[in-house]
Amino acid sequence: VDGRPFGADARRLSESSSHSRNRSDSRIHIGPSARAGGPLPHKSALSLRRPSQQLGSPLLGGNSEPSERSKQVRFLTAVPSDLSVDQAHLTELTQLLSLFEKAVAALQAIARRGAVAVDGSQDSERGSTTARSQAIRGLAAAFLQLSRLSSSTGLVRHYDKPTLAQFKATTQAGHERPLTQIKYNRDGDLLMTVSKDKVANLWYSHNGEHIGCYIGHLGALWTIDCNKTSTLVITGAADNTARLWHAETGRMLHTWELPTAVKRVEFSHDDQYVLMVTEERMGHKSGIYVFAIDISRPEQSNEPIVILRASGAKPTVAAWSFLDKFIVSGHEDGTLSLYDWRNEVVVETAKAHEGIITDMQMWKDGTYFITSSRDMTARLFETATLQAMKEYKTDAPLNTATMTPTQDLVILGGGQAASEVTTTSSRQGKFESRFFHKIFEDEVGRSRGHFGPINTLAVQPDGKGFASGGEDGLVRVHHFDPDYFKFKYDY
């Protein structure tokens, strides 16, 4: 190892237990994860570049995905207090390392003999093959014995695959199908995720620990939101229902029955109303439903206050404006509509994109918002006038877009169509989170990691990290390192 012969002593054995823990067994992948009460142990997956740098160059220090074998081994972060490695174990380990050294030396000798000269005779070739086989068998036997020894001493703990895949395989944690939306609560300490597997999950955002599930929908979930006090959660699904949940206990409080699937839900800024965008199916027109929310009792009214119907293409997304005065909707034909929802009047319309609007996210005060589209662009609009202010161009269809509160950056996500992913590598599919400067519209960084298109993005309200959900069923949570907050755009 490092040019030194194999050997064993108490110091080296103690050092071997200080490997960093492999966290890749969780289905929620944490970028540089932060342990509670401590600094970030690793660098962020995001790196920023100056405009003069080539976009084709690697823009991130990414974490390579672990092998299947590495997913079955978890190293302790420190030697536990109850760990006792006696002299017998040390002696056995010394003998094992000696076996390793002999096996490696034998393989090296065989390689040297083959490199210098080969007799060419059949007997010589047969002897070389036999010696190589014996050396490989000795090496394998040493590995097996070392695995048994390390497990018995407690230095390395092995887990079976069902345990490691619990976030993916069970309905109590993780997702088995593509993500459709992720949301942070107002404080940023909780992360909510929904996917097409009928389960809504709640996680701690700082370390990806699973808290619980909201189970009850009978179809794929499309959308989720929570109120400002993080006491109520609302979900919308393909079973033509929207459901209200008690955030802490997971108890279902109310169910709204709608004509078609619910594609987007969102609480108003004062938590007194909730909007729901429905799909156009089976002769039923799509619409934007607004219901009143009474936090004093679990049962809610099933009668909507208003139903907003689009005169043109169906709405796909919607959001509340500043002071809940307007509702802004994005449509399948790329247009935007500004509704005075109390009077059921369309105040303004604008042509925003050439393709379907896939996502819309408001700035925290509701005065402007960002949209994404399959036409490979994202745009920034003023809410009151629907005037386009900025445009961000990419070379891939976009499914989602969001804005960071602490830096003048926007984050875009998308990639090649899911139906074509099997024929394309992750790099060619453009499955990265792309960072653009909000003002100058230049791309300044990328974050890789997903194996399919990115369907949804969300940024922590304090701007210390962001999360992405993809077609691969993974949620990746990234924490920005200190260099991110020192970043100044060179213009």
Give 333's pLDDT tier (boundaries 50, 70, 90): very high
Distance from C-alpha of 491 to C-alpha of 484, rounded to nearest angstrom? 17
The pLDDT-based confidence of 39 (bands split at 50, 70, 90) is very low
User: Does residue 454 register a pLDDT over 60?
Assistant: yes
DSSP-based three-state secondary structure for 128: helix
d(CA 410, CA 400): 11
222 contacts: CB under 8 Å, gap ≥ 6: 180, 181, 194, 236, 237, 238, 261, 262, 263, 264
Question: Average pLDDT for residues 95-115, to the nearest whole number?
Answer: 77
Q: What does the pLDDT average to over 72-76?
A: 36
pLDDT-derived band of residue 330, with 50, 70 and 90 as boundaries?
A: very high
For 292-320, b/e burial (b = at least 16 CB within 10 A) is ebeeeeeebeeebebebebeebbbbbbbb
pLDDT classification of 255: cutoffs 50, 70, 90: very high
Cβ–Cβ < 8 Å for 403, 461: no
Q: Kindly tell me if the per-residue pLDDT of 401 is higher than 50.
A: yes
Helix (H, G, I), strand (E, B) or coil at 20: coil
**pLDDT class of 97 with cuts at 50, 70, 90:** confident
Are the CB atoms for 323 and 301 separated by under 8 Å?
no
Angle at 472 between CA 467 and CA 474, to 5 degrees: 35
421 falls in which pLDDT band (50, 70, 90)? low
Please say if the pLDDT value at position 44 is more than 50.
no
Question: DSSP secondary structure string, 145-166?
Answer: HHHHHHHHHTSEEE--HHHHTH
Output 199 or 124, whichever has higher pLDDT.
199
- Residue 179 is predicted with a pLDDT of 93
What DSSP state is assigned to residue 137?
H
User: What is the pLDDT confidence band of residue 224, given thresholds at 50, 70 and 90?
Assistant: very high
Q: Which segment of 30-34, 42-46, 406-410, 487-491 scores lowest on mean pLDDT?
A: 42-46
pLDDT band at 117 (very low <50, low <70, confident <90, very high): very low
Lowest mean pLDDT of 12-16, 219-223, 376-380, 388-392, name the range: 12-16
Q: Is the confidence at residue 367, as pLDDT, over 50?
A: yes
Query: What pLDDT sits at residue 300?
Result: 94
- Kindly state the average pLDDT of the residues 198-204: 92
pLDDT (average), residues 468-478: 90
Cα of 256 vs its chain's centroid, Å: 29
| Helix (DSSP H) and strand (DSSP E) numbers for the chain | 6, 30
